[in-house]
Structure 1
Amino acid sequence: MPTVIFVHPDGTQQRVDARNGRTLMETALDNSVPGIIAECNGSAACATCHVVLPEDVKTMLGPVSDHENDMLDFADAPREPGSRLSCQIKISDVLDNVSVRVPSA
């Protein structure tokens, strides 16, 4: 079972167990990670699950879809090079011990 480390805007970290096949957003909601709202329940229609990934992880996951790219423009926090919608990222063993930053709004 992979472990994901959510880094909050104040720098504190929250380590959570994640199940393969679930999304990063579902994992955050299951563990009450502050800042991940997911108003659209994972349909990539609201950008309230915005996270920032490290460059190496971003590269492993491949390019952002055009739709996700458009939705990131509506995120409350400024967009960054590693910005992604956590509802579009499936948990797998390659994400074990990844640090995911939750941006401040």
Structure 2
Amino acid sequence: MPKITYQVPDGTVHIVDVPVGQSIMDGSVRNNLPGIVAECGGSCSCATCHVHVDPEFVELFEAATDEERDLLEYAEDVDEHSRLSCQLIVNSACEGVRVTVPDSNS
């Protein structure tokens, strides 16, 4: 089970085991981490699970869909590494992936 590192808005870091096939959002929600609200439950319709993926790990995930990019237009603190964590599905190569939850999510 890959270990995913989450840096949450207060600056604390949490390392969580996330099963292959689950999303980065699932790992956060199941461990009650602050900052990833996931109002829509992971259906890619709200952008409350916005994270920044560390650049070295971006290529481990499928590219953002048009729907995801459209939703990110309405999120705050968006940069070139912004993704919706509900769309980041963990695979066996994801060991050590690091995401940062932007301050605007708190």
User: What TM-score, normalized to structure 2?
Assistant: 0.91
Provide runs of 4+ in structure 1 moved above 3 Å: none
The corresponding residue for 1:65 is 65
Alignment map for 1:9-24 (pairs within 5 Å)? 9-24=9-24
**Counterpart AA for 1:28:** S
Superposition deviation, residue 23 in structure 1: 0.9
Alpha carbons of 1:17 and 1:60: their partners in 2 closer, same or farther (altered >3 Å)?
closer
Which is worse superposed, 48-57 or 58-67? 58-67
**Counterpart AA for 1:91:** V
Alignment map for 1:1-105 (pairs within 5 Å)? 1-75=1-75, 77-105=76-104
Unaligned runs of 5+ in 1: none
Superposition deviation, residue 9 in structure 1: 2.5
CA distance in 2, matches of 1:11, 1:46: 24
User: What TM-score, normalized to structure 1?
Assistant: 0.92
- Secondary structure of residue in 1 paired with 2:103: coil
**Counterpart AA for 1:12:** T
Which is worse superposed, 23-32 or 7-16? 7-16
CA distance in 2, matches of 1:35, 1:10: 9
**Counterpart AA for 2:22:** R
CA distance in 2, matches of 1:100, 1:59: 13
- Secondary structure of residue in 1 paired with 2:93: helix
- Secondary structure of residue in 2 paired with 1:16: strand
Matched residues, percent identical? 38
Unaligned runs of 5+ in 2: none
Aligned length: 104
